[in-house]
Amino acid sequence: MKIVVLDGYCLNPGDLDWAAFEQLGELTVYDRTPANLTIERSKDADVLLTNKTVLNAENMSQMLNLKYVGVLATGYNVVDLDYAASRGIMVTNIPAYSTASVAQMVFAHILNITNSVEHHSQLVHNGAWSGSIDFCFWDRLQVELAGKTIGLVGLGNTGMATARIALAFGMKVIAVTTKKNLPYGIKSVSYSDLWQQSDIISLHCPLSADTRNLVNASTIAQMKPTAIVINTGRGPLIDERALADALNTGRIAAAAVDVLSTEPPAADNPLLSARNCQITPHIAWATREARQRLMGIAFANLKAFADGTPVNVVN
């Protein structure tokens, strides 16, 4: 079995090991594959592993040996599932590998905003504390999370993990969810109630026609002026221009995003210059532990396929 990893660098920039896959066949790993090299590198492969390299009907039609595509992520929109199914090519994904890491990033952003951790540390390094006449100082309001309300849009694995952390901080947790019989401490509410009641809003829903630009000028207008918006889900859940305008005019207090509508972002993305906007470069998933888990599941998926007992099939 010839196995080709098309874009392995983000998963494994050098601190993990692909060796397990060599048990299953001849392995070739590319850090990145530009579109014009996809066919050349894949044409003889039985198995392709891809994260963001697009596999569509046009290029897969020239991969005559292809039997299996393993997506190295939870989302699988990079693969034409219908074409793959028509050819009998199995496609699998990696569910729930980064739940704890993404929930951790939500609170890394929340804590950095509410305590201005990075800001005050930089002031200290710049000499502000050494020159202070008092034993302590702050120039931004310090905010306690206990008693505050966090509104979660979506209560899947990551939303629920975020809820558990919030409850541990003594926060009130409300959520827009279709789930029934919610755990103690989590209250199901409507969208309008969530926008209006939340001190912090965190997005954990899939991207769909209904959720695209979910945070927009109209929904922002319903939020508290002290509200904080967090997005570790999908970039297009937010109308970025509307959010930037709200931040720049002080309509809401702050935002933190780990995902943007286009990645890498264009230089003129309005959030890059928006006031009180923290942006991390899509790294909530990227702890070593989560990446190791992802690689382990990817191997298990492929081994299950080779053994005739496939799992995590999406087509």
Write out pLDDT tens, residues 141-186.
999 999 999 999 999 999 999 999 999 999 999 999 999 999 999 9
pLDDT of residue 177: 97
d(CA 15, CA 229): 33
DSSP character for 107? H
Mapping DSSP to helix (H, G, I), strand (E, B) and coil, where does residue 246 land? helix
pLDDT of residue 38: 98
234 is a catalytic site residue: yes
293 is a catalytic site residue: no
Mapping DSSP to helix (H, G, I), strand (E, B) and coil, where does residue 272 land? helix
- pLDDT by residue for the chain (315 residues), tens only, comes to 999 999 999 999 999 999 999 999 999 999 999 999 999 999 999 999 999 999 999 999 999 999 999 999 999 999 999 999 999 999 999 999 999 999 999 999 999 999 999 999 999 999 999 999 999 999 999 999 999 999 999 999 999 999 999 999 999 999 999 999 999 999 999 999 999 999 999 999 999 999 999 999 999 999 999 999 999 999 999 999 999 999 999 999 999 999 999 999 999 999 999 999 999 999 999 999 999 999 999 999 999 999 999 999 999
Pairing of strands 149-153, 200-203: parallel
pLDDT of residue 36: 97
Domains belonging to the chain, first-starting first, are 2-97+288-306 (3.40.50.720), 99-279 (3.40.50.720)
User: Of residues 41, 109, 204, 234, which has the active-site annotation?
Assistant: 234
- Cβ(48)–Cβ(69) under 8 Å? yes
User: Of residues 263, 275, 288, 289, which has the active-site annotation?
Assistant: 263
Average pLDDT, the chain: 97
Between CA 13 and CA 217, with CA 106 as vertex, the angle to 5 degrees is 115
Mapping DSSP to helix (H, G, I), strand (E, B) and coil, where does residue 46 land? coil
Strand order in the sheet with 149-153: 186-188, 172-176, 149-153, 200-203, 228-231, 254-257, 277-279
* Cα atoms in the 13 Å half-sphere on the side-chain side of 262: 8
Pairing of strands 47-50, 26-29: unpaired
275 is a catalytic site residue: no
